[in-house]
Amino acid sequence: MTAPRVVITGIGMLSPLGHSVEATWQAILRGESGAGPITHFDAEGYDARFACEVKEFDPTAFMDRKVARHLDRYAQIGLAAAKEAMADSGLEITDANAERVGVVVGSGIGGIATFEKQHSILLEKGPGRVSPYLIPMLISDMAAGVISIETGARGPNMAIVTACASSAHAIGEAVEMVRRGAADAVITGGAEATIVPVAMAGFSSMKALSFRNDDPHHASRPFDRQRDGFVMGEGSGILVVEEYEHAKARGAKIYGEVLGYGATGDAYHMTSPDIEGRGAMSVMRKALAQARLAPDQVGYISAHGTSTPLNDRVETAAIKEVFGVAAYRVPVSSTKSMTGHLLGAAGAVEAIFCVLGMRDKVIPATINYEEPDPDCDLDYVPNTPREAAYTTAMSNSFGFGGHNACLILGKV
């Protein structure tokens, strides 16, 4: 029996480049960087004093003030993107269909800003002054929870936490939910807001971040020989995925189709990818197999491409192993060069870029690519977006803990 087709009928986004999908996408096509000095806190004395912030975000422009007051920033950003995605989809949730609409939204870290603030209150003022909203604001499932509350979706509801692969896994698991008949539509993706002192200090101590404080716009440089770490980002990407016949019956706009999904684990190290790339190779092969595509049928690869020395080298090697000679013909790029690394939200944001690229017949660039690395020798679409008509795209996401996810998107 053929599994039901699952299509994308709505998209929403808040990013360091804009407060909507189209605002962000136009900035991507212009090759803009979202990086700049940190404004969320005084970063003087930190190794990395810049990040890719969602700028001038007022949650009350997207939700009721009472709702916003009891949500961490990550959940506010997630709910704002979900509202855009739902409005875009035209999907109306009623008592009749509410239990057939699910929510699967991931976050790598959740409400870390709330945790940090309330911990300071605990130390300074004592336990009696800690907010009763501490726990619901900090837990990583609250973005999914509040999206359900605000939209009325009463179908399967859950959060995925797999570090930087969280939202890609969320999309994949949402698709599987529809395929097995547990829901007709699912609101899915990810949200993250970790530009806070403790997170910046922690990632800096790991030497994971770029320290180009004198030149933030050029700090994220995936696959470039002079890359020195990723740039912290925040934001959200939300999609509405829907069973194809259900979408067609209601006359929905269709952006694309999720053709394949793969999920694997490295079983290797807490933070380092398997240096032989076995998990990355396996996850791409699984997604290709589910999509029933040969490697040479993929028109574009949206790389995980973090701008860290090891990740970019390992991902390049894995692509070459899986794609063979086709690896040198398929364009590969990393939009993290512009958005920074949105951690648990990255996969969803990048999946949206894939379907927009197919829609507009363009491949986004890898900006800040200046000096080739002999170990990274593929076509990274350097610095300028490329006009190209393609009907399939692969999106890779890899997370600390060895979590790997791969999505293959197709044009309908």
Is 92 a member of any domain? Answer: yes
What string of H, E and C letters represents the secondary structure of the chain?
Answer: CCCCCEEEEEEEEEECCECCHHHHHHHHHHCCCCCEECCCCCCCCCCCCEEECCCCCCHHHCCCHHHHHCCCHHHHHHHHHHHHHHHHHCCCCCCCCHHHEEEEEECCCCCHHHHHHHHHHHHHHCHHHCCCCHHHHHCCCHHHHHHHHHHCCCCCEECCCCHHHHHHHHHHHHHHHHHCCCCCEEEEEEEECCCCHHHHHHHHHCCCECCCCCCHHHCCCCCECCCCCECEECEEEEEEEEEHHHHHHCCCCCCEEEEEEEEEECCCCCCCCCCCCHHHHHHHHHHHHHHCCCHHHCCCEECCCCCCHHHHHHHHHHHHHHHHHHHHCCCEECCHHHHCECHHHHHHHHHHHHHHHHHHCEECCECCCCCEECCECCCCCECCCEECCCCEEEEEEEECCCEEEEEEEECC
What's the pLDDT tens digit per position in 42-98? Answer: 999 999 999 999 999 999 999 999 999 999 999 999 999 999 999 999 999 999 999
Task: Give the CATH number of the domain where residue 346 resides.
Answer: 3.40.47.10
Q: What is the pLDDT of residues 115-173, one digit of tens each?
A: 999 999 999 999 999 999 999 999 999 999 999 999 999 999 999 999 999 999 999 99
Here the tokens at position 95 are 């008592």
Identify the domain boundary among 217, 249, 281: 249
| Same domain as 244, residue 315 | no
Please pick, among 52, 164, 376, 406, the residue that the annotation labels catalytic: 164
Residue 221 shares a structural domain with residue 286 = no
Q: Tell me the pLDDT of the chain averaged across its residues.
A: 97
pLDDT value of position 193: 98
The predicted-structure confidence for 348-400, as pLDDT tens digits, reads as follows 999 999 999 999 999 999 999 999 999 999 999 999 999 999 999 999 999 99
Does residue 280 sit within a domain? yes
**What dihedral do alpha carbons 137, 139, 143, 146 form, nearest 10°?**
-60
Q: Is there a domain that residue 1 lies in?
A: no
Q: Tens of pLDDT along 310-348? A: 999 999 999 999 999 999 999 999 999 999 999 999 999
pTM: 0.97
Let me know if 406 is a catalytic residue: no
Catalytic-residue membership of 19: no
Average pLDDT of 171-187?
98
Contact predicate 192/341, CB 8 Å: no
Kindly name the residue from 169, 246, 341, 403 that is annotated as catalytic: 341
Environment class of 94 (CB within 10 Å of its CB; exposed 0-12, middle 13-18, buried 19+):
exposed
Residue 1 confidence (pLDDT): 66
Does 401 map to a domain? yes
| Percent of the chain whose predicted confidence (pLDDT) is above 90 | 99
75-87 pLDDT per residue, tens? 999 999 999 999 9
pLDDT of residue 2: 82
Active site residue 269: no
* Shared domain check, 271 and 127: no
One domain, residues 265 and 243: no
**What is the reported pLDDT for 59?**
98
Percent of the chain with pLDDT over 70: 100
Q: Is residue 343 part of a domain?
A: yes
Report the pLDDT value the prediction gives residue 395, as an integer from 0 to 100.
98
One-letter amino acid for residue 228 of the chain: D
In a domain, 255, yes or no: no
Q: Which of 169, 304, 376, 403 is catalytic?
A: 304
Residue 226 lies in a domain: yes
What residue type is assigned to position 145 of the chain? G
- Counted domains in the chain: 2
Query: Does position 256 have pLDDT exceeding 80, yes or no?
Result: yes
Residue 254 belongs to a domain: no
Query: Which structural domain, as residue segments, surrounds residue 59?
Result: 7-249
Please give the pLDDT value at position 145.
98
HSE (side-chain half, CA atoms, 13 Å) at 318:
29
Q: How many CB atoms lie within 10 A of CB 180?
A: 10
Give the pLDDT of residue 153: 98
Same domain, 45 and 146: yes
Same domain, 35 and 176: yes
pLDDT of residue 13: 98
190-208 pLDDT per residue, tens: 999 999 999 999 999 999 9
Does residue 396 share a domain with residue 310?
yes
